[in-house]
Each structure stands twice: as C-alpha cells, then as structure tokens.
Amino acid sequence: MKGIISALLCSFDEHGQVNEKGLRDIIRYNLDTVQVDGLYVNGSSGENFLLTTAQKKQIFTIVKDEVQSDVPLIAQIGSLIIEEAIELAKFVTNLGYDAISAVTPFYYKFDFEEIKHYYNTILEHVENKMIIYSIPALTGVNMSLDQFSELFDNKKIIGVKFTAPDFYLLERLRHRFPDHLIYSGFDEMLLPAAVLNIDGAIGSTFNLNGKRAKQILTLAQQGHIMEALAIQKETNDFISAVLDNGLYQTLKELLVTQGVDAGICRQPLKTLTANGKGIVLDIANKYL
C-alpha cells in the first residue's frame, strides 16, 4: 500500500444523496486517467463527517464493487460514536478492504489514554490492519513520538496518515519505525515529506493532480530534488488557486470539466457561484 493514494471525492446530487454513477465516474477517473496507486475512502475529502452510517456503507460498497482488487483500498471508519466505528470496521473488513483508518477522536479534548483505548477497542472487534489518521489542525489532537510508539505497540496498527507540518516529528517517526507505513497528508508539502523517506501520500488534490504527485515522489526518491521542486511549485500554484476558490467544490467542478459527473457538496458546504465556475474553467485550462 505504497505510493500516491487519492483521498476519494464523492458525488452527491442536489438532495444530498449519493450519486452512484458519479461516484463510479470519479473512481474510474482516478484509476484510468490519473492512475493513482490506491484509494482512501470516506475521509475528509469524501465529506464523511456529513454522512449517515447508511450513506457511508453505500459508498464503501460502491467503491469496492467498482475497484475490486485493482488497487489497495483503505476505509476511513473513524467516528465519535465508537459503536459506529466498530460497525463500519466490521462492514469494510467483510467487503474485503485492505486496511481501515480512523481519525483521532476529537471535539471533547480526549486525553491520550482515551485515544489509545479508542483504537484498541476498535481493533479488538475486527481482524484488519489500522492506519491512524492524525490531522491536528482539525482535531486539536497532537501526539508525541512516544505516544505514537504506544499506539504502534498494537501490532494491528501498521502506520499513520500524517497530516501535519511537523517535519521534525515526521523524521523521528520514520527513524524509529522503519517498518511502519508513513503517509504524508498535506499535498502542498509532499516534497519535504518525500525527502524524509515516507512510503507515500494520501490527498484530496490527487483526484486530479496525482500524476504530478507521483513525479514528485519518484524524483525525490531518486535524489532529483530540484526537478521535484519545480513540479511541487507548479502543484502548489494549482493548490493555491483551488483553495482560493473553495477546496472540495472546486475539485468537483474541475472533474466536471473533464467529463466526470462529480456532483456537488453536501450542505452546509456551499455551491459554487457562476463566477466561481468561471474561475474553475481558468484553473482547468492552465493546469489540466
């Protein structure tokens, strides 16, 4: 499960329901056009925290049906409701997902013992591998090297999606845990993470920009840093334009320009204005 992995977007209709055809279109674009190495399903980019349990199961099922065993699949099952996380972990394991992932529990300022209990409890109920999803900017949960080490004492926890700009901690993780999978989670910081010998990256912009991401990762691994830097600069120009216009809305509309039925975002995420859609066309013409 190494390489460039898309944090999969999901297509929704105007009523907020899963658009199955659109979701399958997004999957095919990732696999056939962008040629990513895997898919991370129902993460932040899939608007997971705006979904019902039934919708999450629907998405997991459609993705597995479309992908089969073509690329590895990682299912993000994390939830503040631990029973839901366990239910989803069992569900995707039975579907044949290659690994599960879970965001650190958030909002209530859980202490580390509570966080460790959360992961271990989920894994007591399922025979699958776990990728920790660490994203302190959104969860407020910052874990130390020793705390990661305690989590990794559970042999079912095989790695981390590291979405943080702390490159000192990232380097220390790589050094202490050479056999664990370490994924970068910030697309705009892929190159400095790649220099630290990560195993891959998981990101939302890879739904469209995955080929550049693959180039950055490969060039960095080969020691061609200045070449990789030029591509990271172009990538960051693309990312800046997308962020200025609205991340998920713009990524979906960019897919639409490529003939993909990417739908719209679920409320309360807003929809693009006519001006916003015009900006998308400019971005597409420049970068796609």
Give 281's contacts (C-beta < 8 A, 6+ positions apart): 257
Burial class from Cβ neighbours inside 10 Å (0-12, 13-18, 19+) for residue 286 reads exposed
Owning domain of residue 63 = 3-223
* Residue/partner pairs of 61-64 with CB below 8 Å, 24 or more apart: 61/95, 62/18, 62/20, 62/23, 62/24, 63/8, 63/23, 63/27, 63/39, 64/92, 64/95, 64/96, 64/97
* 161 has catalytic annotation: yes
76 located within any domain: yes
Q: Give the confidence band of 76 by pLDDT, cuts at 50, 70, 90.
A: very high
Query: Is 202 annotated as a binding-site member?
Result: yes
Of residues 210, 203, 252, the one with CA closest to residue 34: 210
74 located within any domain: yes
Q: Give the confidence band of 276 by pLDDT, cuts at 50, 70, 90.
A: very high
The CATH number of whichever domain residue 108 belongs to comes to 3.20.20.70
282 located within any domain: no
- Residue 287 has a pLDDT of 97
In angstroms, rounded to a whole number, what is the distance separating the alpha carbons of residues 62 and 81?
23
213 located within any domain: yes
237-275 pLDDT, tens digit each: 999 999 999 999 999 999 999 999 999 999 999 999 999
Mean pLDDT score of the chain: 98
Which of these is catalytic: 161, 183, 248, 252? 161
* 133 has catalytic annotation: yes
247 located within any domain: no
- Residue 108 has a pLDDT of 95
Q: Give the confidence band of 42 by pLDDT, cuts at 50, 70, 90.
A: very high
278 located within any domain: no
Which of these is catalytic: 29, 97, 119, 133? 133
- Residue 204 has a pLDDT of 98
The string of DSSP codes covering 156-225 is: TEEEEEE-SS-HHHHHHHHHH-TTSEEEE--GGGHHHHHHTT-SEEEESTHHHHHHHHHHHHHHHHHT-H
The helix (H) or strand (E) run that includes residue 53 is: helix 53-67
228 located within any domain: no
- Residue 36 has a pLDDT of 98
45-56 pLDDT, tens digit each: 999 999 999 999
- Find the largest Cα–Cα distance for the chain: 52
- Residue 63 has a pLDDT of 98
Tell how many helices (H) and how many strands (E) occur in the chain. 12, 8
Asked if residue 78 lies in contact with residue 56, where contact means CB atoms within 8 angstroms, the answer is no
Q: Give the confidence band of 65 by pLDDT, cuts at 50, 70, 90.
A: very high
169 located within any domain: yes
What is the value of pTM for the model shown?
0.97
In angstroms, rounded to a whole number, what is the distance separating the alpha carbons of residues 154 and 131?
12
How many structural domains comprise the chain?
1
Q: Tokens 């220390």 appear where?
A: 172
